[in-house]
Amino acid sequence: MKIRVVRTGGFAGIEKSAELETDGRPEHERLRTLAREALAAPPQPESRGVPDGFGYEITIDGKTVKWADPDLTPDQRELIQLVLDEGA
């Protein structure tokens, strides 16, 4: 499973992105569970989030969802952190 996260916004407005392939990783099953939860969450209303907050675009095997702070679920936060910290 390929997971891509793009983070935009924030105070400086700097974009950060990373991509992670889950196959062969020790945390493969946890990543797959987090990815399924991220895609299953109800769509976020058209909201810009909070001033200087981050917006996220999460793409999992070609399907994309968009979220903004502070409306992330705990699973979405964990997935974003894992991909941005470990992705290349």
Per-residue pLDDT tens, the chain, 88 aa: give them.
999 999 998 888 889 999 999 999 999 999 999 999 888 877 666 656 677 889 999 999 989 888 888 888 888 899 999 999 876 4
CA 64 to chain centre: 10
* Entry pTM: 0.84
Number of domains in the chain: 1
Contact status, residue 44 vs residue 71, Cβ threshold 8 Å: yes
Closest CA to 72 of 47, 38, 46, 36: 38
How many Cα atoms are found within 13 Å in the side-chain-facing hemisphere of 19?
Answer: 7
> With contact defined as beta carbons under 8 Å apart, do 22 and 33 qualify?
no
